[in-house]
Amino acid sequence: MLSFEKTKIKDVYVITPKVFGDDRGYFMETFSEKDFESEGLNYKFVQDNQSSSKKGVLRGLHFQKSHPQAKLVRVLKGEVYDVAVDLRKDSKTYGEYVGVLLSAENKKQLLVPRGFAHGFLVVSDSAEFAYKCDEFYHPEDEGGIRFDDPAINIAWPKIDSEFVLSEKDKLHPTLKESKIVFDLKGER
């Protein structure tokens, strides 16, 4: 059974599984279509991804321009600060973000709906990160905004090392420069 916690931004949820543990270890469901549907969340996930990163790696803030993806993200090992930035047209929270610490220990997940930029910072020595997507990856459709955009003002955790970004992530424009707005009318 999954527990769904609303966040300050509509449609973004922190999801916590019920964990059954004993001296052998633990068991949990990480996704249940039935639980999602009971919350009015109808997603058909079509792709699972996994990454491994060292401390200080910051991936993001990413989105797909013409093929927006919803993501259900979680940490298998380590700890990350995970961020979803609202880019939906006419949203009262456009340009605002939700940030959550996800870890192998707390087993929390973040549901990032379509129309959001997504990114995370590894705050432990290393982390393994997994996510489900409801749209396939289209490399030609990639977009991004700066992780340190002052207009969004994400309060990234302080760590004892420099942030490590890909060359591509270093070149993303600000939200204002990108002018990205998702109009999701007619979407599922």
Q: What is the dihedral of CA 58, 11, 6, 74, to 10 degrees?
A: -40
Closest CA to 172 of 59, 92, 46, 88: 59
| C-alpha–C-alpha distance, residues 129 and 108, integer Å | 12
CA 150 to chain centre: 20
Residue 138 designated active-site: no
Q: How many CB atoms lie within 10 A of CB 184?
A: 15
Annotation says 43 is catalytic: no
Q: Are strands 58-64 and 126-133 parallel, antiparallel or unpaired?
A: unpaired
Query: Which of the residues 62, 81, 118, 172 is marked catalytic?
Result: 62
Which has the closest alpha carbon to 13: 89, 93, 71, 95? 71
Burial class (CB in 10 A: 0-12, 13-18, 19+), 170: exposed
Q: Indicate which residue of 43, 118, 131, 172 is catalytic.
A: 131
- At 147, list the tokens: 């992780």
Peptide bond into 61 cis (omega under 30): yes
d(CA 49, CA 68): 16
Query: Which residues are marked as active site?
Result: 62, 131
